[in-house]
A and B are shown apart, each in its own frame.
Chain A
């Protein structure tokens, strides 16, 4: 099966071919994620290290309140998006499922991963083309977004539930067991903060590699996330 699929892959990835890979919900989700992650990264930083004090009556200002509101709202968008995206993995095309599974039993995938690493270390002279994510990108996305994102949703709502207090769904679902699991609230804050930086790191690499492969691998990467079409240029 694997040999056949590889042949298929190379046939599809021949120059001039265009494949419809990313369906509309996946693309909308991608850009909503991009937006919500940027909002959360900035506001999250400002929650841990607030802006200089504002002057005037406390009742005239709500700066910290708005910053926190933006963070929580973006968190809800991210969490609901993740749920809908998970739903789409079941009803969408087979590319929609890729993000949620690492084919660790597939030897070709591992070979592709090594090949991709060699390409990034400038050992391989020519890149391979993939219809979906390449194995290295797949690995990073799985850890940063699927696992990292889930971790951030769980710890984020655990912290949110502390303020929302007992009785709120976030307290019931997350706060109650997650805070004791980590030790105390401060530990959850620290982990939430660390993994946030991990996702920022992912974003830097993600954007760089997307641009790089768009140019060097001669296939659409950036426009593919807008139109959904992956075109192999040569």
Chain B
């Protein structure tokens, strides 16, 4: 295998130079870079050898892959996949069986310490990992082996980043996010169920272009896409500040497109780029379609009560309870207790005063 550059691959696939340069400037724009960066991206892609990517699938639903292949980038279908040098992805690759598994070994030896491992889904650890089998072996073993020689790991989606639905209580398979299994490699979390296609391709493009991982926040997410909440950039925010809310799904406010805060929208607690990048090539995103955000890119979003509740349920105090119900009940009991205590205190005082008076009389 001779080492090809991205540009060579693109040209081989029939991409014109014009389309290539267009792609570079669009990439610069989508990464929020200045126009002068476009030639740099072009130069990097013309000279740099392709960094191979191994894309493993653990316990997941493939929605990340589904999202990824819908990247509305102009050259998404052919080029982004080629550009990636996606050497292994059992969902997308032609090879199968032993032939496919041999590729992992090949990449591991040829590009030792130089390939990127993208993980979709997570390893379940219960029963020695038997709940997810990859090529006849527990996925957790394959993950550890493949991660050992990787340069960096991308945790695709909420499964790999946080655990997602299979890790929701009571998590019978002990599905565990990647960073809790692999602790000695830089991990880039790209949470979301699934993550936005353009966010996925942009993260990969950034890493390949600049040969470094994007700036991450404390939780390991790229700041450029997860630095702000949905709420901070929501186009319905003026209705929130004004105090105009949807109260019922079929009310006038819903038709007018008021804020979905009262319908349990998780925009104020969710870090993602949906309200700026949007979905399906920028067509829409949940709130724009009239439904609140469910917070799918947040840790444990399945276990944070109903998607339609504003105040989070607290299961420890019963099925139908939240901070207001618990607090209100306690405050009510305290009020009643205070009243009763005051009454007894007053009676006691009256009795004591009377006794003291009697003593005084004697």
Interface of A toward B, CB cutoff 8 Å: 45, 48-54, 58-65, 67, 120, 122, 125, 162-163, 165-166, 176-177, 180, 183-187, 189-190, 193-194, 196-198, 200-201, 204-205, 208, 212, 215-216
CA distance A205 to B312 in the complex (A): 27
The 4 A-B residue pairs with the shortest CB-CB distance, nearest first, are A197-B327, A63-B243, A185-B269, A193-B323
B127 interface residue per 8 A CB criterion: no
Cβ contact within 8 Å between B342 and A197: no
Contact of A180 among B218, B330, B338, B341 (CB under 8 A): B218
Cβ contact within 8 Å between A205 and B241: no
B227 interface residue per 8 A CB criterion: yes
Cβ contact within 8 Å between B334 and A205: yes
Cβ contact within 8 Å between B331 and A200: yes
B198 interface residue per 8 A CB criterion: no
Q: Do A51 and B243 contact each other (CB < 8 Å), given the known contacts A185-B298, A186-B298?
A: yes
Interface pairs (19), CB distance under 8 Å: A53-B245, A54-B243, A58-B239, A59-B242, A61-B242, A62-B242, A64-B243, A163-B231, A183-B299, A184-B299, A185-B269, A186-B295, A187-B312, A189-B312, A194-B314, A197-B324, A204-B335, A205-B334, A212-B342
Cβ contact within 8 Å between B326 and A53: no
Contact of B348 among A122, A184, A198, A200 (CB under 8 A): A122
Q: How far is the CB of B267 from chain A (nearest CB, A)?
A: 11
Q: Which residues of A contact B239 (CB under 8 A)?
A: 58
Q: Which residues of B contact A61 (CB under 8 A)?
A: 242-244
Cβ contact within 8 Å between B312 and A190: yes
Cβ contact within 8 Å between A186 and B323: no
Cβ contact within 8 Å between B247 and A52: yes
Cβ contact within 8 Å between A204 and B334: yes
Contact of A176 among B218, B244, B266, B300 (CB under 8 A): B218
Cβ contact within 8 Å between B331 and A50: no
Cβ contact within 8 Å between A184 and B269: yes
B344 interface residue per 8 A CB criterion: yes
Q: Name the CB-closest residue of A to B333.
A: A201
Q: Name the CB-closest residue of A to B228.
A: A165
CA distance A208 to B219 in the complex (A): 45
Q: Which residues of B contact A186 (CB under 8 A)?
A: 266, 269, 295, 298, 304, 312
B352 interface residue per 8 A CB criterion: yes
Cβ contact within 8 Å between B227 and A58: no
CA distance A62 to B239 in the complex (A): 9
Cβ contact within 8 Å between B310 and A53: no
Cβ contact within 8 Å between B218 and A183: no
B156 interface residue per 8 A CB criterion: no
Looking at A58, A198, A212, which has the most chain B CB atoms within 10 Å of its CB?
Answer: A58
Q: Which residues of B contact A194 (CB under 8 A)?
A: 314, 323, 326-327
Looking at A51, A67, A204, which has the most chain B CB atoms within 10 Å of its CB?
Answer: A204
Cβ contact within 8 Å between B258 and A197: no
Contact of A190 among B243, B244, B314 (CB under 8 A): B314
Q: How far is the CB of A216 from chain B (nearest CB, A)?
A: 6
Q: How far is the CB of A225 from chain B (nearest CB, A)?
A: 19
CA distance A122 to B340 in the complex (A): 12
Q: Which residues of B contact A59 (CB under 8 A)?
A: 238, 242
CA distance A61 to B338 in the complex (A): 41
Q: Which residues of B contact A176 (CB under 8 A)?
A: 217-218
CA distance A50 to B259 in the complex (A): 11
CA distance A196 to B327 in the complex (A): 8
CA distance A120 to B322 in the complex (A): 31
Q: Which residues of A contact B310 (CB under 8 A)?
A: 48-49
CA distance A165 to B228 in the complex (A): 7
